[in-house]
Amino acid sequence: MPTTPARAFPEDFLWGTATAAYQVEGAAAEDGRGPSIWDTFSHTPGRVDHGDTGDVACDHYHRLEEDLGILARLGVGAYRFSISWPRVLPGGGDRLNRRGLDFYSRLVDGLLERGVAPVATLYHWDLPQELEDAGGWPHRDTALRFAEYAHRMGEALGDRVHTWITLNEPWCSAYLGYASGVHAPGRTDPAGALAAVHHLNLGHGLAVQALRATAAPPARVAVTLNLHHVRGVSERDAEAVRRVDALANRAFLGPMLDGAYPRDLIEATASVTDWAFVHDSDEATACQALDLLGVNYYSPVLVRARDGETADGPASPWIACGDVEFVRQPGPYTEMGWSIDETGLTELLLRLHGDRPSLPLMITENGAAFADVLDGDGRVRDERRVDYLRRHLTAVADAIDAGADVRGYFVWSLMDNFEWAHGYAKRFGIVYVDRETLDRTWKDSAHWYRDVVATGTVPDPS
Ligand code: IFM
């Protein structure tokens, strides 16, 4: 019977877990926090399954000590969280809300006291509502406000936070927020979505400059992208693959890492926008030296050309791709309907390393939703999540063995939380959160991950 050998990771490999502010904090109207686009969106009937909101979420804001204890017992070397912009700068202006900042200060100190390195993401989708009212990410000024926010956070926390992530998954912010409208703010404006892409890229570059100017050395600055590993059904789908890759990946990698939008992206979207919102020197500003590239990976993408026909349907995040079919891939699937295929992760990491060998990589999110059940004996037997994590960590080990410079891995997520338009119906946590009591229970995967972290080794499944 074939066995999968245990895989040992480098000694200095960083093991962590991740969450995001709106998904876990709750306390939406407390201590001076202002509204974000996700407060507005989730309170709009029909936008989020079951009418769920992040008002309470996991109540992490009030259960900070308990959650810090969980992280300490997991033994992780790092915790990736995001700062809620409207909690620290309500309205997105320049008035610092001390009580909001104090929460992050306590979080950071609590992590450091427990030997856990804080990894702070500045923007995980919760734009202050007032900035959306003024135009949102399609509007250039939002990038400038974002840079000011980065500056304030670098000043306030940069003495203790040494790893910073500017944006989380700008693909989602731009295309799901402004093209398909399934995420906040729920707009369906393809030209606006491409303007959002640009202002997110610009805001990223300005934020890197702001962090470098304020955070104490040796600050590491990164961005997290949900890069899509795109495959074609056959060789004749190469053009479709290239177009989807341009929109999904190179729209961000191009300006951020090479200082230029790819020509084929500009051409493919010419009927939607003339890209006049890109000012001279913006691309150079977006392109700042990075210490790490954060990679979020869940599943690969499979596409096929539609033979010239275009599909009308609900607003799509895939601008100028009406002639591309997104093909359902073979199972097994997670509860999100995403196919489980870890080979895409190895291939993606090797592509990134091949393209830019000197840029270290970090898996800033990877994980799976399953319909977990808290059994009568108090256990959550989530063996499918253990299998998912084992497969994907093995895929990371394969990439490292083949030469990729991967420095760390963060499980998404520390605990079950508000899964955006799906509300609380999808459970991604390695810690189970009871929706009535908000009690936390370690799932089998949390015990498994604690052992992985302690030994630096992914064990043989037998
Ligand atoms: O929950 C999200 C997270 O906020 C961003 N990355 C993907 C996760 C699962 O959908």
Identify the pLDDT of residue 5.
83
Q: How far apart are the C-alpha atoms of 231 and 38, rounded to whole Å?
A: 32
Say if residue 400 is exposed, middle or buried (CB neighbours under 10 Å; 0-12, 13-18, 19+): buried
- Among protein residues, the one with the nearest Cα to ligand 1's atom 10 is 419
DSSP type of residue 268? H
* CA distances in angstroms from 284 to 20, 145, 251, 298, listed in the order given: 29, 19, 14, 31
Query: Residues with Cβ < 8 Å from 65, sequence gap 6 or more?
Result: 110
| DSSP letter, residue 437 | T
Complete domains list, the chain, with CATH: 7-458 (3.20.20.80)
Instruction: Give the alpha-carbon dihedral of 183, 186, 188, 190, to 10 degrees.
Output: -50
The pLDDT score that the predictor gives to residue 174 is 98
Give me the residue label for tokens 């974000």. 36
Q: Determine the atom of ligand 1 nearest the C-alpha atom of 413.
A: 1
Q: Which two tokens stand for residue 259?
A: 């200082």
**Cα–Cα–Cα angle for 162, 165, 169, rounded to 5 degrees:** 165
Q: Which of 193, 295, 196, 215 is nearest to 253 (CA)?
A: 295
- Residue 218: the pLDDT is 87
Q: Strands of 324-326's sheet, edge to edge?
A: 230-232, 301-305, 324-326
| Sequence-separated (6 or more) residues with CB below 8 Å from residue 105 | 156, 157
Radius of gyration over every alpha carbon of the chain, rounded to an integer in angstroms: 21
Distance 397 CA to ligand 1 centre (A): 23
Q: Which of the residues 25, 132, 365, 419 is marked catalytic?
A: 365
Q: Which of 38, 410, 415, 419 to mutate to test the pocket of ligand 1 (most atoms within 8 A of CB)?
A: 419
User: Could you identify the atom of ligand 1 that is nearest to the CA of residue 296?
Assistant: 6
Can 383 be counted among the known catalytic residues?
Answer: no
What is the atom index within ligand 1 of the atom nearest the CA of 168? Answer: 5
Residues with CB under 6 A from ligand 1: 20, 23, 169, 296, 365, 412, 419, 428
Q: Residue 215 carries which DSSP code?
A: S
Q: How far is the CA of 417 from the centre of ligand 1 (A)?
A: 10
Q: What local confidence, expressed as pLDDT, does residue 314 receive?
A: 80
CA distance 438 to 24: 11
For the chain (length 462 residues), average pLDDT per consecutive 10? 80 99 98 98 98 99 99 99 99 97 99 98 99 98 98 98 98 98 98 99 99 96 98 98 98 98 98 98 98 98 87 86 96 98 98 98 99 98 98 98 98 99 98 98 98 97 82
Secondary structure class of 224 (helix, strand, coil): strand
DSSP string, 336-370: TS-B--THHHHHHHHHHHHH-TTS-EEEEEE----
Q: Which of 25, 169, 325, 342 is flagged as catalytic?
A: 169
Q: Is 365 a catalytic residue?
A: yes
The rounded Å distance from CA 419 to ligand 1 centre is 7
What is the distance of C-alpha 163 from the center of its chain?
Answer: 15
